[in-house]
Amino acid sequence: MSLPALAVALFCVAIAPHSSNAADALLRVKSDADVPQSVARLTEAAEAAGAKVFIVIDHQAGATSVDIPLRPTTLVLFGNPKIGSPAMVEAQTMGLEVPLRVLVFEDEAGDVWLAYENPADQATRRGVRADNPSIVKMQGALAKLTAAGAGQ
């Protein structure tokens, strides 16, 4: 293979989408309630666990304000500096990943989901070990809190 052909082949591999990796990074928990109730349970559980809920963004309301129909979709950002800050000490770009965020949404079938990215995947993208104690705590917190939000 010629050098230019090899360069093109390597470039194509580098820019090819890696949907399996992206799909693996997204974790979803099915809720037994509607979006508002799931959001309320999630935020209550986060605060009870000592996290601060920084913001709740109602994407449906935003879309509706510009006449775009959107099923119920709410983003919740929350965290605890005792957990997130040590990860940022290791790699400051972890600040792009914390506070933690959970998207609560109703899908096409009417099912409600709490979805979040796996902190271990986020960490490795930022140069932080997946087994870093802060990352492990984030994983545990997200699993516990999304289960509470989902009514499990």
The residue count of the chain comes to: 152
- Would the pTM of this model clear 0.85, i.e. be above it? no
- The answer to whether 61 touches 39, Cβ cutoff 8 Å, is no
Taking CA atoms, 86 is separated from 35, 82, 90, 136, in Å, by 32, 7, 7, 12
- The answer to whether 3 touches 123, Cβ cutoff 8 Å, is no
pLDDT in tens, 62-87: 999 999 999 999 999 999 999 999 99
Task: With cut-offs at 50, 70 and 90, classify the pLDDT of residue 25.
Answer: confident
Domains of the chain: 20-150 (3.30.310.70)
SS3 label, residue 76: strand
C-alpha span between 119 and 142 (Å, rounded): 9
